[in-house]
Chain A
Amino acid sequence: MSHTHTPKCKSMLTSLSDYVDGTLSDELCQEIDRHLADCPDCTVMVDTLRKTVSIVHRCAEDEAQAPAPVRARLYKTLKLDDYIRH
């Protein structure tokens, strides 16, 4: 699928982060919704951008702890060995 974009597609691009974060004004949101209804390529763009952000969030949740040896060395450097929780 190749995308022949219109000026509308490009102007939508600047609001995309706020759109996928749900922080865009209602008025601009509705404008983008109307454009997406007529532009399958921009719909793919928005869906894959939203999915990208969601994948990043999910992977970040799984990496919330530093590896145990890294934590142990950190506590040692900070002279906090007596306080380390296993």
Chain B
Amino acid sequence: MTEAALSDLSVAALRAGDRAEFARLVDAASGPIYRLALKMLGDPQDAEDALQTTFLKVYQHLGEFEGRSSLSTWLYRIAANEALMLLRRRHPQLSLSDDGDDDLEYPAAQLTDWCCLPEEEFVSAEARTALDRAIQRLPEILRIVFVLRDIEDLSIQETAEALGLSEAAVKTRLLRARLRLRDDLSGYYSGRLEQRKQ
């Protein structure tokens, strides 16, 4: 969900509690917010709970929206907080401020170039399952940055605003997430490459 997708909404009407305008906001934003929740939580029922709670909170607090950030960033902030709160129920020790920033490690495993696979290999149902599993294996503090930046297409600055992190922290975590995901997917796609050779 980009700000452009919400640009024809009237913030004044939303703040005034206009139900039809709120319905238009829900129509434009519910897909991306559900996607974020599903990627973060990995469970459709939990994602639906997060989606509903997010929009209940959005409606409740729209009158307080001051426009200091964009409307989309504000929505993502509420949704991210909701998803992280549900994750903290599972893992009470989870903290977004834990940096966990160890030294970057170059992959120890063998490097296989799997980019030459046919395009249909990258979008098959099996490949999507492999991708979803790899995303779920990312530590939560990396996953939320990755989901906002690479799945929801927020800028580094918007991701930092939504999560209350510095841009430097967002960049570091995004890189770690991408490298881990690349490593993880390399296992799957190298296997596909081997199978095609047989």
Assess A44 versus B35: contact at CB under 8 Å? Given A49-B182, A52-B182, A56-B131. Answer: no
Alpha-carbon gap, A74 to B25, bound state (A): 13
Alpha-carbon gap, A80 to B61, bound state (A): 17
B contact residues around A85 at 8 Å (CB): 27
Assess A51 versus B52: contact at CB under 8 Å? Given A64-B31, A66-B34. Answer: no
A56 touching B23, Cβ below 8 Å: no
B31 touching A51, Cβ below 8 Å: no
A80 touching B26, Cβ below 8 Å: yes
- Looking across the interface, which residue of chain B has its beta carbon closest to that of A9? B106
- Looking across the interface, which residue of chain A has its beta carbon closest to that of B189? A48
Q: Which of B133-159 contact A (CB under 8 A)?
A: 150-153
Minimum distance in angstroms from A51 CB to a CB of chain B: 5
A10 touching B26, Cβ below 8 Å: no
A56 touching B55, Cβ below 8 Å: no
A78 touching B35, Cβ below 8 Å: no
A contact residues around B153 at 8 Å (CB): 57, 60
B27 touching A59, Cβ below 8 Å: no
Q: Is A5 an interface residue (CB 8 A)?
A: yes
Minimum distance in angstroms from B3 CB to a CB of chain A: 16
State the 4 A-B residue pairs at the shortest beta-carbon distance, nearest first: A83-B23, A66-B34, A65-B31, A17-B175
